[in-house]
Chain A
Amino acid sequence: DIQMTQSPSSLSASVGDRVTITCRASQTISVYLNWYQQQPGKAPKLLIHVATGLQSGVPSRFRGSGSGTDFTLTISSLQPEDFATYYCQQTYSRPYTFGQGTKLEI
Chain B
Amino acid sequence: QVQLQESGPGLVKPSQTLSLTCTVSGGSISTDSYYWSWIRQPAGKGLEWIGRIYTSGSTDYNPSLKSRVTISVDTSKNQFSLKLSSVTAADTAVYYCARDQVALTGTLDSWGQGTLVTVSS
Contacts and interface: CB of A to CB of B under 8 A. Distances in A.
Which secondary structure dominates where chain A touches chain B? loop
A5 B106 CA distance: 18
B115 to A, nearest CB: 11
Contact of A43 (B48, B64, B112): B112
A91 B105 contact: yes
Nearest to B37: A96
B74 interface: no
What is the size category of the interface that chain B forms with chain A? Answer: 20 to 34
A101 B107 contact: no
Q: Is the interface of B mostly helix, strand, loop or mixed?
A: loop
A73 to B, nearest CB: 15
Contact of B106 (A96, A99, A101): A96
A16 B60 CA distance: 42
A43 B112 CA distance: 7
A87 B47 contact: yes
A43 B105 CA distance: 19
Interface of A: 1, 32, 34, 36, 42-46, 49-50, 55, 87, 89-91, 94-101
